[in-house]
Amino acid sequence: MTDMRTPLGRVRGLGSARDGTTHFWRQRVTAVANVFLITFFVVLVISLQGGDYESVTAALANPLVAIVMLMVVVSGVYHMKLGMQIVIEDYVHDELPKFLTLMANTFFSAFIGLASIFAVLKISFGG
């Protein structure tokens, strides 16, 4: 018998959602990407320190800088969403509050990501 579930688990039909490994690897890949992307972001902020508005917008108008900044936003927000999802799943035990907080996490992440992408694009296109 290769079924590792308990008799109660077999009756309820509960088992692995088969999503844990994918979630684990997505979180690790975004973490590795963030090491390089956040390093770029910190170097950019340090290099722009003390600059006026025009110098900051000129730096972000560079297509390479704008693309990397978009990568920083997407990777960072997605990593944040995955991390908060794990915290919610581990520490919120009742089903309705868990469902609502997971939904709020998704909407919050989408809002922050889209607002940040909009801001980077607006600055990079000279708006």
Domains of the chain with CATH codes: 19-124 (1.20.1300.10)
104-114: average pLDDT: 98
* Distance, CA of 46 to chain centre: 24
Q: Assess whether pLDDT exceeds 80 at residue 59.
A: yes
* pLDDT for 7: 76
- Return mean pLDDT, the chain: 91
Q: For the chain, percent helix, then strand, then coil, each to nearest 5?
A: 80, 0, 20
Confidence of residue 126 (pLDDT cuts 50, 70, 90): confident
Give the C-alpha distances (Å, rounded to integers) separating 21 from 39, 74, 109: 27, 21, 22
**Coil, strand, or helix at residue 110?**
helix
Q: What is the pLDDT of residue 16?
A: 62
The yes-or-no verdict on residue 123 having pLDDT over 90 is yes
